[in-house]
Amino acid sequence: MYSTTIVHYPGGEYPIHQGDGLLSRAGELTAELIRPGLAAIATNPAVGALYGDTLQRSLIGAGFAPVLCEIPEGETYKNLSTVAGLYEAFATAGLERSSPVIALGGGVVGDTAGFAAATYLRGLPLVQIPTTLLAMVDSSVGGKVGVDLSQGKNLVGAFKPPLAVIVDPAVLATLPAVEFRAGLAEVIKAGIIGAPALVEVLEGSGESLDWIIRQAIAVKVAVVEEDPYEQGRRAVLNLGHTFAHGFELLSGYRMRHGEAVSLGMVAATRLAVALGRCPPELAARVERLLARHGLPVHPPDFAPEDVWEAMAADKKRRGGRLRFVLPEAIGRVVVADDVPKEAVLETLADLQRSTSPCLSVPPIL
């Protein structure tokens, strides 16, 4: 059993198939969309060792001739040298314009292989098979692909709508707990942006992981369909991320992205309270939810002015403005780029001072 969501974008659409065990049907799902022939599987050694065989067998069964193209493990290899390595591998294998690249892995594999697919021969079809929670609910949906430069993350990239996304939640069984938690931060983000029912489930219990992933994907799909090229509404997906980028930079990138996003959502919600945009109870609720899922709600001892500088430096590199996404209610957020610096500094100072969740509400568990 599996379900399919269709994502529309200007000039086309693509399916997101989701269901336990779908990895072993990736070949037939791909063959529904493209004539079988040569295909590249891009993965890293860890994911390849776990799931490469299943995918390869499935592709062969559907008539494809897969070639395995491994990229090194880790964010430090999400760069142009790795992309060049993939180009070489594609050329050696003799990939043609119609040969699909199948990205099997987390966001690093999806972004890197996706960028190689977007550019080799001016674009090959791309199938995303995300294997982390973050990649399932965030990076594999929406068409953004790209790599890092030494000057900053994701500075080179493209919009590359995939041919299909295949989500098999069963592969999460092998995902390390810290990676799972990091993905949960983005799931919670999706709930706060647009899915009150998802937040309620995460506050209690009763729904499967499959359902939770489906709800989070639905939020991302709705936002990217409204703003496929990131010109407006898509900014809401950056809830917690302005602060998070500052925290990450200040920690020398030792803080994990999901942890930074958790702290960033706490800060953003408290900022919304300070600006009179939402009631204090909302901040307490968000902090309790994050803490319940093992995510941090108290930032390390960073000076507010340093966090501000780090956020400003990050924004400058991306050529954007320092804007904050502010929750007004669960399921409703607004984008503000006129937030006074003093309010931000005061919120950060307040966050440093607090040693227990906002309003000292006891955790659920």
Ligand X SMILES: NC(=O)c1ccc[n+]([C@@H]2O[C@H](COP(=O)([O-])OP(=O)(O)OC[C@H]3O[C@@H](n4cnc5c(N)ncnc54)[C@H](O)[C@@H]3O)[C@@H](O)[C@H]2O)c1
Contact footprint for ligand X (CB under 6 A): 44, 46-47, 50, 73, 75, 78, 105-109, 111, 131-132, 134-135, 138-139, 142, 144-145, 153-154, 171-172, 174-175, 179, 182
* Residues 51, 70 contacting (CB under 8 angstroms): no
Minimum CB–partner distance for residue 331 and ligand X (Å): 21
Distance of closest approach, residue 104 Cβ to ligand X, in angstroms: 9
Q: CB–CB of 237/321 below 8 Å?
A: no
- Smallest separation, CB 50 to ligand X (Å): 6
- Token pair in block for residue 294: 């093992």
| Structure tokens that stand for 269 in this block | 């919600």
Give whichever of 107 and 357 is closer to ligand X, judged by the CB atom. 107
- DSSP assignment, residue 165? E
Whole-angstrom distance, CA of residue 231 vs CA of residue 252: 30
Residue 251 burial (CB count, 10 A): 16
Nearest CB to ligand X, comparing residues 30 and 112? 112
> Shortest gap between Cβ of 173 and ligand X (angstroms)?
8
| Shortest Cβ 137–ligand X spacing (Å) | 9
At 306, which amino acid appears?
Answer: D
- Smallest distance from the beta carbon of 153 to ligand X, in angstroms? 6
Decide: 215 and 229 in contact? Cβ < 8 Å: no
- Identify any residues that bridge with 327 across adjacent strands, giving them in sequence order: 333
Name the 3-class secondary structure at 323. coil
95 C-beta neighbours (distance < 10 Å), count: 23
Nearer to ligand X, 108 or 167 (CB): 108
C-beta of residue 34 within 8 angstroms of C-beta of residue 93? no
Which residues, in sequence order, are bridge partners of residue 130? 105
What is the H or E stretch that residue 346 is in? helix 341-353
Q: What angle do CA 68, 74, 77 make, to 5 degrees?
A: 75
8 Å CB contact between 186 and 137: yes
Residue placing its CB nearer to ligand X in the complex, 239 or 282 = 239
Residue 51 structure tokens:
């799931």
Residue 20 beta carbon to ligand X: minimum distance, rounded to whole angstroms: 13
Q: How far is the CB of 338 from ligand X (least distance, A)?
A: 26
Q: Which residues of 14-30 are buried (b: 16+ CB within 10 A; e: fewer)?
A: bbbbbbbebbebbbebb
Q: How far is the CB of 114 from ligand X (least distance, A)?
A: 7
Q: Per-residue DSSP letters for 181-205?
A: HHHHHHHHHHHHHH-HHHHHHHHS-
Residue with smaller CB distance to ligand X, 105 or 299? 105
- Between 66 and 107, name the residue whose CB sits nearer to ligand X: 107
For the chain, what is the total number of helices (H) and then of strands (E)? 14, 11
Whether the CB-CB separation of 158 and 146 falls below 8 Å is answered with: yes
* C-beta closer to ligand X: residue 78 or 288: 78
- Considering the complex, what minimum distance in angstroms separates the CB of residue 54 from ligand X? 12
Nearer to ligand X, 182 or 311 (CB): 182
Q: Which one, 42 or 344, has the nearer CB to ligand X?
A: 42
Nearer to ligand X, 172 or 184 (CB): 172
